[in-house]
Structure 1
Amino acid sequence: MTLDDRRIPLIYQRNIRARRIILRFDQSAGRIVVVLPPRATYDEGRRFAQAHRAWIRERVELLPEGVPFETGSVVPFLGQPHRIRHRPKARGVVWCEEGEIHVAGRPEHLPRRVEDWLKLEARREIAEIAHAKATQIGKKVRRIRLSDPKTRWASCSASAELAFSWRLVLAPKWVLEYVVAHEVAHLREMNHEPRFWRLVDDLTPHARKARDWLAEHGPDLHRYGRSDSDRPIEDPLPA
């Protein structure tokens, strides 16, 4: 779909449990998902989307401009802006130096290599903080998993497995530290009772400040690089 000279992808998804056509706005990918019930056709889905262009325009106008992982782009790493530099003749893969992320190899591999490097750095930073804070409270982290969820930054299972968004490595380190401390605290308190929050405060001095930062700036982290995993944000509009 074209809106004011801007092309918006329409992604069609068949859902056997849907009773009507539904539009969902996938904010992180900047696209519209058209959910089709079993008997609806693609043409009907497209006409439905066209009939609700005003609804789509309102949401698209709120989107910050995407920042692809390409040479010249500026992306945050631990809260500090870094410019991506393609170094086709250099040896190695990706390294960080003096405010720049250098990427060797063929240009078509650059986006994937930058994202892979950020994920590796995220795992390294998170693992170091998580194990140290778990030791503080006499607990052990069984496993750390990274993904790219759209609706939460982290989680903790009853089996002591911690899951985090790799995009936290884009945020300031004190924000990342708070999120890790929050999940580590769940190793002892699987709730959000006052004792849990007191434990979080014991593990990090940045709890309130970090929560405020995530509320204001967290959604902005999803505009960096490609984002093609997990489900879209749902904002259903009935047919």
Structure 2
Amino acid sequence: MRIRLRQDARAKRYLLRLPADASGPVMTVPQHGDLARAERFARAHVEWLLERIDRRDKPVALMPGDVVPLRGVDHLICSTGTLRGLIRQAPAAEDGGLPRLLVPGEEAHVPRKLVTWLKREARADLEKAVILHSGRLGKPFGALSVRDTRSRWGSCASNGNLSFSWRLILAPPEILDYVAAHEVAHLKEMNHSDRFWALCRQLAPQTPTARQWLKDHGARLHGFG
């Protein structure tokens, strides 16, 4: 297995992660780290890494019986058995378990209907967050789009148009809020300078923990749909 090494003067420990863009595992090495210690660290965590790769390579089809997170809470996908109706949330069944997402229609159409619904939910939450942060910043934004992307969570174009991954609706609300604040901050700072990160933390104080959460759990979200 090939593991890319990335030296970081700010890093205080070795860190192994699996980027969501399927580019392969990356290990962050402290400034005074060495190759021998990096190899020992990799070997000590090889089972964890193989498990993450295996889990990422098995996409969840969003069929009845599958489990999908919604705003950070796992839900069981259930077919209503009826052809018509709206997707709705429901509490756990009487015998316990997870809260449910009730999806009408033929079973073969459940994934398509559920993804369409999740995209609408994502757009509604993102619009609220973007309007809030752009108002605080005093910078208007252009069009807002929700897309099926796996390489990035959001982007800000030079004309002020914002684009986001619909899978943010699967993450806890504070994570979606951070990504919205991150892209809104680019309306003023089209870079990743210290000024940008200060602005990002001003809009979303949870920025450091949200970034770490996406590194730790983003691959799982990309496995849906």
Q: TM-score normalised to the size of structure 2? A: 0.71
Counterpart of 2:77 in structure 1 is 84
Q: Any unmatched runs of 5+ in structure 2?
A: 1-20, 24-48, 92-98
Shift of residue 27 of structure 1? 4.9
Shift of residue 63 of structure 1? 2.5
Higher relative contact order (CA 8 A, sep 6+): 1
1:96 counterpart SS class: strand
Counterpart of 1:66 in structure 2 is 59
2-structure distance, mates of 1:60, 1:212:
19
Report if aligned partners of 2:81, 2:104 keep a CA contact under 8 Å in 1: yes
Shift of residue 88 of structure 1? 2.1
1:63 counterpart SS class: helix
Identity %: 40
Match of 1:97 among 82, 90, 108: 90
Matched ranges for 1:152-167 at <5 A: 152-167=152-167
Stretch deviating more after TM superposition (189-198 or 90-99): 90-99
Shift of residue 89 of structure 1? 2.1
1:137 equivalenced with 2:137 (yes/no): yes
| Letter paired with 1:224 | F
1:214 counterpart SS class: helix
Report if aligned partners of 2:83, 2:106 keep a CA contact under 8 Å in 1: no
Q: How far does the alpha carbon of each residue in 1:67-100 deviate from its partner, in whole angstroms, 9 at most, with x for none?
A: 2211111100111001111002274231122221
Superposed CA RMSD: 2.1
2-structure distance, mates of 1:97, 1:60:
32
| Letter paired with 2:80 | R
1:88 counterpart SS class: coil
Report if aligned partners of 1:72, 1:85 keep a CA contact under 8 Å in 2: yes
2-structure distance, mates of 1:118, 1:78:
10
Q: How many residues align?
A: 171
| Letter paired with 1:146 | V
Q: Which one has the largest radius of gyration?
A: 1
Report if aligned partners of 1:84, 1:102 keep a CA contact under 8 Å in 2: yes
Stretch deviating more after TM superposition (58-67 or 198-207): 58-67
Q: How far does the alpha carbon of each residue in 1:105-133 deviate from its partner, in whole angstroms, 9 at most, with x for none?
A: 12221110011111110101001100111
Q: TM-score normalised to the size of structure 1? A: 0.67
1:62 counterpart SS class: helix
Stretch deviating more after TM superposition (216-225 or 172-181): 216-225
C-alpha spacing 1:159/1:61, structure 2 compared with 1 (3 Å):
closer
Q: Any unmatched runs of 5+ in structure 1?
A: 1-25, 29-57, 226-239
